[in-house]
Amino acid sequence: MKKGQIFLVALGILAIAGVAATAVVMANQQNNQDRFSVTGSGTVYAKADIANITVGLRTDVKKTAAEATKDSTEKMNAIITSIKDLGIEEKDVKTTDYSLNPVYNWIDGKGQVLQGYQVSQNVSVKVRDLDKIGEVIAKTTEQGANQIGNVSFTIDDEYELKNEAREMAIEKAKEKAEMMAEQAGMKLGAVKSVYESADVAYPVPMYANAKLEMASDQAVGLGAPSIQTGQNEIRVEVTLVYEIK
């Protein structure tokens, strides 16, 4: 075959490929134009069955690091023992922070002067019996805990709750799509795809606010706080993409 003929054949192949590519792009654009998406959300509420709380201590300033460590160890061991005495398993108690730091004072004419050392230690506690939250706070405080916070409430198994919220979200999205299609004069075809987003508006999982009140009529040392767990909110958002006839 001559060079001129080869060149013409090559040009023909490129032209055919270009036409095919253009057809694919136009088809995709047409498909995208024939799509209609709508979003719906479903929310369910349920009472929490697990409480999470951080219990810790910060020692007084000690002359040496060894003294600060000894003081912290003795108090934290007593705190953990009191937690376990309430029936909380070892797997549900975890150290989340431990620090030994020098403490300085500023003295005129001398600048920073080492005063001593201080230990800060925190443990996270998972309380599966919600009736014991107040006791955990009271007992650990009696043993030297002076940093307690980050109270939050979770649901051990949210699977069924999320399924229920998802079903509600899909139904709402379908109702919305039918109403909007009717108002716009469109005809809905089949659902071509479904997208589910993470929980919206609140952190995952969604916690009710904890309310702590000191109950003076509960005789556990300093008095056990009364913890109000409220309800957890589980929300699922779903987007349905319809084909337009």
Could you report the per-residue pLDDT of 107-117, keeping only the tens digit for each? Answer: 888 888 899 99
Q: Where in the chain is the domain with CATH 3.30.70.2970?
A: 50-154
Q: Match 């709402």 to its residue by tokens.
A: 172
- pLDDT under 70 in the chain at which residues? 1-33, 198-223, 225
Q: Can you tell me whether residue 50 is helix, strand or coil? A: strand
- CATH number for the region 34-49+157-245 comes to 3.30.110.170
Compute the distance between CA of residue 228 and CA of residue 212 in angstroms, rounded to an integer. 7
What pLDDT digit, counting tens, does each position of 49-62 carry? 899 999 999 999 99
- pLDDT at residue number 208: 35
How buried is residue 29: exposed, middle or buried, by Cβ count under 10 Å (0-12/13-18/19+)? exposed
**Assigned CATH class of 50-154:** alpha beta
On whether the pTM is more than 0.75, the answer is: no
**CA distances (Å), 19 to each of 14, 32, 114, 218, in order?**
9, 20, 80, 83
